[in-house]
Structure 1
Amino acid sequence: MNDARSRDSAKALTDYPRPSVAVDTAVLTLDPELGLVVLEVRRPKGPGWALPGTFLHEGEVLADAVDRSLRDKANVAGLQPRQLHVFDALGRDERGWVLSVAHIDVVHSARLDTRFPATTRLVPARSPGRLPYDHPDIVARAVEDLRGRYATTPDPDRLLGHTFTMRQLRAAHEAVAGHELQRDWFRRTMEPQLIATGTTVAAGRGRPAELFRRRISDT
């Protein structure tokens, strides 16, 4: 054991094989018809679609690589994805030894209005299609992470506007959860974390619905 440590301490960094480092980002939002969706980009050198990603350049930090991949491949700028998980399974990429630092961002759909119309798409996160590498696993982990954040906190990622009705809030949480939520339980859980604005809006044929805002500041 001591001999092995001694041998390692005598080596230079160049004596160790190095994997290539990639970044891949799951950008999630809500679509009024499709529910929870994920952003995908058309693959330039292969069939089908993938998450926006790229290889880390020399002298570049991960956040800059993520920003570059979103701008260049999707024409989406100004997001602030956070690190989700490192995917490092051997053989995950047929091109060689590649580990991916996966990122996640959850944004209002308007933040994606600038995306390239011909080479990007928004697809249901529950069925993202036949993606390369372990991108389906990245999407699944991103959705799991999102569901944990939304379990008992009202719309922490601001998918809705500054104000919303209880029904709109429940619909957003159901889209994230992937199933219906019990109405009374949802109200009991969320209402203590909301502030009634004193304003109502028309809600179909029923009586006007009260607008709420989050108790935690949106700023």
Structure 2
Amino acid sequence: MVNEYRDASGKRLVDYPRPSVAVDTAVLTVPPGGPLSVVQVRDAEAGDWRLPGTFVHEGERLAAAVLRSLSEKAGVAGLAPTQLHVFDEPSRDSRGWVLSVAHLDVVPFAALAPGLERAGAQLVPVDDATGMVHGHDDILAFAVARLRTTYAGAPDPHGLLAQPFTISELRAVHEAVLGERLLPDSFRRAMVPMLVDTGERAASGPGKPAARYRRV
């Protein structure tokens, strides 16, 4: 018979109180001509809007729980969320002691729109997505800060913009993500060395046709 594990104080694992574990995901995108936005789902019982999330089932891996919640609650599949941060403040969730393993995914709008409509989910500008339950405001703020850090130094690293694109189109996406206006000349000088000129030119618009680029 295998002896039951006990630690140095003689306690078994089951003798320690354990929190519930949840996964919550900030799915961010930029709608055409719009600001940085986040996916929200409506809770069937409370009726409020929040980030898609769920409690982790027994024997379930975190990644599987994330994909399950996104499919069942937001109507989206085929995403590749990454772990963002563990939110472990004991009083963060009004339901009790709940650890949230927060995740982030950044997805082109075209990959989200059909599923969101079918599931009754919605896209909300990140500046308007406030007052969410279970500490979701903190999760969203952390996710947005992380995303903005990546967009400060690289051209559209998450591929929100379809390729090829002009520098003006690229700048518009960066402005949406960063939430601020960018100087055109400074932006061009910073980004062009990290892009490949396709040799194509934009077919419309006033003035000289703009060059089209791809990410390296």
TM-score (norm 2): 0.93
* 1:6 counterpart SS class: coil
- 1:174 maps to 175
The answer for unaligned runs of 5 or more in structure 2 is: 1-6
Q: Which amino acid aligns with 1:102?
A: A
The answer for unaligned runs of 5 or more in structure 1 is: none
Cα distance in 2 for residues equivalent to 1:116 and 1:25: 15
Q: Which amino acid aligns with 2:41?
A: V
- 1:165 maps to 166
Cα distance in 1 for residues equivalent to 2:26 and 2:204: 33
Q: Which amino acid aligns with 2:215?
A: R
- Indicate the RMSD between aligned Cα atoms, in angstroms: 1.3
Residues 116-155 of structure 1 show CA distances to partners (whole Å, capped at 9, x for unaligned) of 4262100001221321121111111111000111111000
Point out 4+ residue stretches in structure 1 off by more than 6 angstroms: none
Q: 1:190 to 1:33 in 2, by over 3 A?
A: closer
- 1:68 maps to 68
User: What percent identity do the matched residue pairs reach?
Assistant: 55
Superposition deviation, residue 206 in structure 1: 2.4
Residues 47-98 of structure 1 show CA distances to partners (whole Å, capped at 9, x for unaligned) of 3200000000000000000000000001100101000011111221121111
- 1:56 maps to 56
- 2:4 maps to none
- 1:109 maps to 109
Residues 17-69 of structure 1 show CA distances to partners (whole Å, capped at 9, x for unaligned) of 11000000000000124311000001112132000000000000000000000
Provide the aligned length of Structure 1 versus Structure 2.
209
Residues 48, 130 of structure 1: 8 Å contact kept = no
Higher mean Cα deviation, 30-39 or 145-154?
Answer: 30-39
Q: 1:203 to 1:35 in 2, by over 3 A?
A: farther
- 1:32-111 pair list within 5 angstroms: 32-111=32-111
Superposition deviation, residue 202 in structure 1: 2.8
Q: 1:126 to 1:203 in 2, by over 3 A?
A: farther
- 1:2-13 pair list within 5 angstroms: 6-7=8-9, 10-13=10-13
